[in-house]
Amino acid sequence: MKFYRVFFAFAVVVLLTAAAVPVMAQQRLVENIDKKTSFSIVIPEGFMTIKSPGLKYKALVGPTEDYTPTIAFVLTPVPKNEREQFNEKINDGIAAARQANPQLEIISKEEFVTLSGLRGIKVVSRFALPDGRLADSNSFYFQSNNKANLMTIQAMIITEFRDKYVEIFNNALKSFEWTN
């Protein structure tokens, strides 16, 4: 539950205040998890990487126009006895997010497949920001190849700008891959 409070606070700050410098198309963010495992993702055109307090991995932020679209990464170790319970872990995450923010509305939950064939789950939710505007969270969940880790990728945007960014988020996330 602490993660969701930190993440929502991070999202609100970035959505409302961050400035971005464009990145050239097809650059990849590569982050090492340990000596054997890393992940990579194409950085959407116009986005940049930032290191943010409270997050282990760099986040991606888009151009600021009274809002800042963000993509953040959180890795959760999965105990051996829970590695076959992928959907249950996601449902637990949704329950924790609802507990942290009771007004959270789940818009959709569906399978998501990357270009490399990695199967995951995408959950779209909506919540109110402190200033009253609505924000959409596109949460993508992927298990590592050895199932020892659950990657949660949060792509967030102010709801009124959702149509402008949903395809950008989906295309970026389709490039996600484990590089171990």
* pLDDT score recorded for residue 136: 95
Among 46, 54, 4, CA closest to 21: 46
* pLDDT score recorded for residue 27: 87
3-state secondary structure 118-167: CEEEEEEEEEECCCCCEEEEEEEEEECCCCCEEEEEEEEEEHHHHHHHHH
Among 20, 21, 43, CA closest to 30: 43
Alpha-carbon separation of residue 56 from 17, 59, 72, 136, 149 (angstroms) = 21, 9, 10, 23, 14
* pLDDT score recorded for residue 3: 44
* pLDDT score recorded for residue 72: 94
3-state secondary structure 71-86: EEEEEEECCHHHCCCH
* 145 contacts: CB under 8 Å, gap ≥ 6: 178, 180
What CATH number is associated with residue 53? 3.40.1000.10
Structural domain total, the chain: 1
What's the domain range around 53?
2-178
* pLDDT score recorded for residue 42: 94
Return per-residue pLDDT of the chain as tens, 180 residues: 444 444 444 444 444 444 444 444 478 888 887 777 789 999 999 999 999 888 889 999 998 877 889 999 998 888 888 888 888 889 988 999 899 988 899 999 999 999 999 999 999 999 999 999 999 999 999 998 888 888 999 999 999 999 989 999 999 999 999 986
CB burial class (10 A; 0-12, 13-18, 19+) of residue 69?
A: buried
